[in-house]
A = this chain, B = another copy of it.
Amino acid sequence: MSLILTNIEKHVQLTAEEKELFLSKTEIHHYKAKSILLNSGQICKYSYFVNSGILRSFNINDNIVEHVLSFACEGWWMGDMYSLISQKPGNLFIEVLEDAELVLLSKENQEQLYTEIPKLERFFRILTENSLVAHQDRLMDNLSLSAEERFDKFNKRYGNLTHKIPQKQIASYIGVTPEFFSKMKSRLLKK
């Protein structure tokens, strides 16, 4: 069975017909590494589910500095939540870090599914709740932990990514410069 259905069925049970209806509203696309799925200033039209590969979302502030909001690998969802719900231009970029197979669910189809299959409204509520908890957690970590401790947490959350993505992007995720990250890493190795 497809990964995305397994993912959904962790929280709600669907009938065979519902599964079929759901899948009929999605599209599968393949993207090469370095593809940009969404540019800052664009309206986000899709939720993306990762069958394989790696994505990241980030923004770029005035100082031309990138800040990574999140990574998504196999089994994770990705999107610009702000733009997706408001259908206004967002300020996130979504980029493919490693060749990816994605399930695309358009905003309109998602809304239709909420009424056609109310269980999916429940599913996305739960998904959003979990994401909210994770973001609250990370926020508190950024307020109270050192860079080293934040790196620890990153490894717990995204351990499998540590050696697959450029380390400057890990630095950006935990909120330090690549230079400091490099220094910190060599300090950690000496222990």
| Chain A interface (Cβ < 8 Å from any Cβ of B) | 59, 61, 63, 65, 67, 69, 81-82, 85, 114, 118, 121-122, 124-126, 128-133, 135-140, 142-144, 175
Contact = CB atoms under 8 A, between A and B. Distances in A.
Contacts of A122: 114, 121
Copies of this polypeptide in the complex: 2
A85 B138 contact: no
Contact of A61 (B69, B85, B144): B144
A69 B132 contact: no
B121 A85 contact: no
A57 to B, nearest CB: 9
A59 B140 contact: yes
B140 A85 contact: no
A129 B130 contact: no
